[in-house]
Amino acid sequence: MSASSDVRWRTPRSGDISMITLDAHQTAQLLPYPQLADGIEAMLMEMRSGTARAPERLHFPLTEPERGRRGGVLLVMPAVNRDVAMTKHITVHPENCRAGKPSIIGEVMVFDPHTGERLMLLDGPTVTGRRTAAVTLFAARKFAPRPKGPVLIVGAGVQARAHLEAFAAGMGTRHFMIFSRSPERAHALAEHAATLGVEATVVDAIEPALSTVSIVITATTSSEPVLPDSDTMRWRDDIFVAGVGAFRPDMRELPPQLCRDAAVRGTLVVDTWEVKHEAGDLLHAAIDWARAAPLMDAIITPDRYRSSGPVLFKSVGYALWDLAAVLCARANLAKDGVPAS
């Protein structure tokens, strides 16, 4: 869907339902990163009061891996609060890129929890990308020792782009470094950064950049650590690292030493306790979960978890972050109407 004619209003009649369908561009227009980051904080308060709730994410394999190729998976994520309910359906097929097809496809269905009436249909990958970046932005605002410094992004896909946009818009970051195994995609992301009025430099090695940046964001689907993996490496005390790409036990971006370093002498924050069985980074590092703090606890009692070492934020995604995006979109839709495609 890309034309404004694809937005369909149905006038309520007796026994009828009014629903709006938004394409990827329109969904993005309703989810500005700074406002969405504020919405994440509001959702944390709803979680604390018990007015918003969500079950664990359903992770259902669709196809089996074969000949070194990764299989497809369906992710189903429902959530509800007093005013609205939603469910997100996302299919992830990593091998689609070989055929020039999107690897992530899906939608977010919004409905009235009291009547079941369908209210809105949002583009699923857009919601996922923007709310994930907004959660990282929120965590960096709260926990990064030097939030205004340069940012290194490892990866150059959808999540890398979303995080660059989020930090440019919501943190005022003016300089980014980009590393990707695909130089072509890295340069394309740097060109996109220029359209936003920020500077982005493509680097051909990660380790030299670590001495100058204050924030590192890994946004890949790697099964092996993409950051330097050395038992003797000591991570800087003033660095903030966000691992956002790995969302399954068999995926890893972060080296075990970094995970243990943050847990033992620094600060380890996770977006939700779902990471206990989904975050391959932390599982492979065998971290002590007593040293990790879910985002809500870390916000409510920050002094209990903050330390002088490196800060690591690990997210795997949570349906309540999608619900926060739905509430943000509804508020802007009510205020401004449907954005043009």
Confidence of residue 232 (pLDDT cuts 50, 70, 90): low
Mean pLDDT of the chain: 89
Tokens of 190: 């740097």
pLDDT single digits (tens) 126-135: 999 999 999 9
| SS (HEC) of 168-223 | HHHCCCCEEEEECCCHHHHHHHHHHHHHCCCEEEECCCCHHHHHCCCEEEECCCCC
- Strand-pair category, 118-123 with 104-111: antiparallel
- Mean pLDDT, to the nearest integer, of 286-291? 92
Question: For residue 270, what are the β-bridge partners?
Answer: 294, 314
Q: How many CB atoms lie within 10 A of CB 299?
A: 19
Percentage above 90 pLDDT, the chain: 72
Tokens of 264: 């033992």
Check whether 107 has a pLDDT greater than 50: yes
Distance CA 139, CA 164 (A): 15
Q: Strands of the chain (E only): list them.
A: 20-21, 58-61, 73-80, 85-92, 104-111, 118-123, 151-154, 175-179, 199-202, 215-218, 240-243, 267-270, 292-294, 311-314
The candidate with the shortest Cα–Cα distance to 97, out of 42, 157, 7, is 157
Distance CA 325, CA 78 (A): 13
pLDDT number for residue 4: 34
pLDDT number for residue 8: 38
Tell me phi and psi for residue 229, to 5 degrees: -115, 90
Place of tokens 């959702």: 43
- Mean pLDDT, to the nearest integer, of 109-125? 95
Distance CA 126, CA 65 (A): 26
Place of tokens 């934020």: 313
Q: What is the full DSSP assignment across 277-297?
A: HH-HHHHHHT--GGGEEEHHH
Judge whether 49 and 81 are in contact, CB under 8 Å: no
pLDDT number for residue 16: 42
Cβ neighbourhood burial of 50 (10 Å; 0-12, 13-18, 19+): exposed
Tell me phi and psi for residue 75, to 5 degrees: -115, 130
pLDDT single digits (tens) 268-283: 999 998 888 889 999 9
Judge whether 319 and 1 are in contact, CB under 8 Å: no
pLDDT single digits (tens) 29-85: 999 999 999 999 999 999 999 999 999 999 899 988 776 677 889 999 999 999 999
Judge whether 325 and 36 are in contact, CB under 8 Å: yes
pLDDT number for residue 68: 64
Q: How many CB atoms lie within 10 A of CB 97?
A: 11
pLDDT number for residue 231: 67
Judge whether 284 and 256 are in contact, CB under 8 Å: yes
pLDDT single digits (tens) 321-340: 999 999 999 999 988 877 87
pLDDT number for residue 9: 36
Give the pTM. Answer: 0.90
Tokens of 96: 């689609």
pLDDT number for residue 7: 38
Judge whether 305 and 269 are in contact, CB under 8 Å: yes
Check whether 285 has a pLDDT greater than 60: yes
Distance CA 340, CA 192 (A): 21
pLDDT single digits (tens) 10-35: 333 334 446 899 999 999 999 999 99
| DSSP alpha helix (H) spans, 5-100 | 24-29, 33-49
Confidence of residue 90 (pLDDT cuts 50, 70, 90): very high
Distance CA 341, CA 2 (A): 6
